Amino acid sequence: MFELIFKNMLRDKPIVHCITNFVTVNDCANIILSGGGSPTMAHHRGEVEEITEKSQSLVLNMGNVHEVDSMILAGKKSNELKHPVVIDPVGIGASKLRDETFAKLSQKIQFSVIRGNISEIKAVANRKGMTKGVDADETDMVTEDNLKQTVVMAKRLSEELRSVIAISGCIDIVADKEKAYVIHNGHPIMAKITGTGCMSTALIGAFCGGNPDNILEAAAAAVATMGVSGDIAFEKMKRFDGGTMMFRMFLIDSISNMTSEIINGGMNIEKI
């Protein structure tokens, strides 16, 4: 299944329209290119609908709260064209503005995938301030002890919002209302690199763009690819006695060198 998902994305080279934040826009573009897609980063409301028409998927990132009108225009056009729409609710729960932004976007746009850390997904679920800045609160971390209840929460949220829910962390969860994939890949150092979450969201956009009829497995394959690449990058970094900047470089390199055989051989994934 995941091998076919990966091959479809490489075959179609989907154009991914990203309206993302200025901190990670370059990383998101590079991760899509490395993964086999083609990024376009148009933000101006005067052209987003036209750009979306020429794309295969749309990625929205709430790290950019200045372009809400552009996001709505692009999102509604994507829904009209039945293109996958992936949103990253960055920092929801940290401020009233971000809560209101997500509420406004979710009223206007049907999301295919919502990807965030556990604090952000909990905030989406109960609309309470459960985030600590834009990072996951340590008390929210997904562990083996709370894994089952987190999966139940993700499935219920997926049913309510009619979206695949992707939770990034020490243990990754990708779920729809009926089933969930639990992914045990990646390394904690990824949390020390600005934008790894945003990059994961962008990569999900590429995989979904190449597999619009199989959103759950496409999102799970993207998250697994990101995790396996993190594992590979960490091992390379250790060999060179490197640090976070070297890890970032090796992470993008690992995505660009990824094959279906490497994914199948390296991913640690179970279905619940």
What are the tens digits of pLDDT across the range 95-111?
999 999 999 999 999 99
Domains along the sequence of the chain with CATH:
2-271 (3.40.1190.20)
Among 155, 180, 184, 162, which Cα is nearest to 172's? 184
Tokens of 150: 């987190």
Start-to-end Cα distance in the chain? 16
Q: Is the pLDDT assigned to residue 73 strictly greater than 60?
A: yes
Q: Is the pLDDT of residue 144 over 60?
A: yes
> What is the reported pLDDT for 128?
40
pTM score over 0.85:
yes
**pLDDT for res 133:** 44
> Per-residue confidence at 113, pLDDT binned at 50, 70, 90?
very high
pLDDT at 202 over 60: yes
Phi, psi of 135 (to 5 degrees): -105, 160
